[in-house]
């Protein structure tokens, strides 16, 4: 079993990077590895508990027909399949600035020092960059 630490900065729905990260986390967990996620800046919004799906008036679909999971739903699923091998820290200062303290069960509050500690014990570290084409 290897340990992977991932740093995320993008808020949900802003780019494809969150989806990419979710796919990497999912694959690593399914292969039996341990994953640490450091959510910094807007990424603390990924796990906000009050996210809610909506109907799609363009397609004429209701909420059930739309069947569109929010990012917190995916995060919940990742915690569920992880069997304790997923650790997720939301940067506390980022949380406070964004009023993003109400999150799902699983993530915990932390800071840059926690990321450094994870880096020291990880086999690989992946920073998802902020560059936009």
Partner 1 sequence: MKVLSIVESAYRATVEEQDDTIVWLNAMFADAGLDVDLLLRSQAVNYLVRGQDASSLAIGGEPLGNPPRLDEDVAALIARGSSVYFVSEDAAELGVSTDRMIDAVRPVTRSELPRLFAEYDQVWHW
Q: Which residue in the set 22, 40, 74, 88 belongs to the binding site for partner 1 (CB under 8 A)?
A: 40
- CB atoms under 10 Å from CB of 99, counted, come to 9
Query: Comparing C-alpha atoms, which of 30, 45, 58, 25 is closest to residue 99?
Result: 45
Q: Is 130 in the site for partner 1 (CB under 8 A)?
A: yes
127 counts as binding partner 1 under rule CB under 8 A:
yes
Site string for partner 1, 95-124 (x = CB under 8 A): --x-------------xxx-xxx-xx----
What is the rounded CA–CA span in Å between residue 124 and residue 94?
24
Give buried/exposed letters for 68-81 (b at 16+ CB in 10 A, else e): eebbbebbbebbee
> Binding string, 44-83, against partner 1, x = CB under 8 A?
----------------------------------------
Helix extents (H) in 43-83: 63-66, 71-82
31 lines the binding site for partner 1 (CB under 8 A): no
Check binding of 132 to partner 1 (CB under 8 A): yes
Binding site for partner 1 (CB under 8 A): 7, 9, 40-41, 97, 111-113, 115-117, 119-120, 125, 127, 129-132
């Amino acid at each position: 079993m290897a340990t992977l630490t991932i740093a995320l900065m993008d808020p949900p729905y802003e780019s494809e990077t969150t989806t990419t990260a979710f796919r990497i986390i999912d694959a690593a967990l399914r292969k039996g590895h341990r994953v640490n996620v450091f959510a910094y800046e807007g990424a603390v919004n990924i796990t906000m508990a009050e996210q809610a799906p909506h109907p799609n008036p363009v397609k004429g679909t209701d909420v059930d027909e739309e069947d569109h999971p929010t990012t917190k739903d995916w995060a919940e699923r990742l915690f569920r399949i992880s069997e304790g091998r997923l650790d997720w820290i939301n940067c506390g200062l980022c949380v406070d600035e964004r009023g993003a303290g109400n999150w799902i069960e699983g993530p915990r509050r932390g800071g840059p020092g926690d990321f450094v500690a994870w880096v020291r014990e990880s086999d690989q570290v992946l920073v998802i960059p902020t560059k936009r084409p």
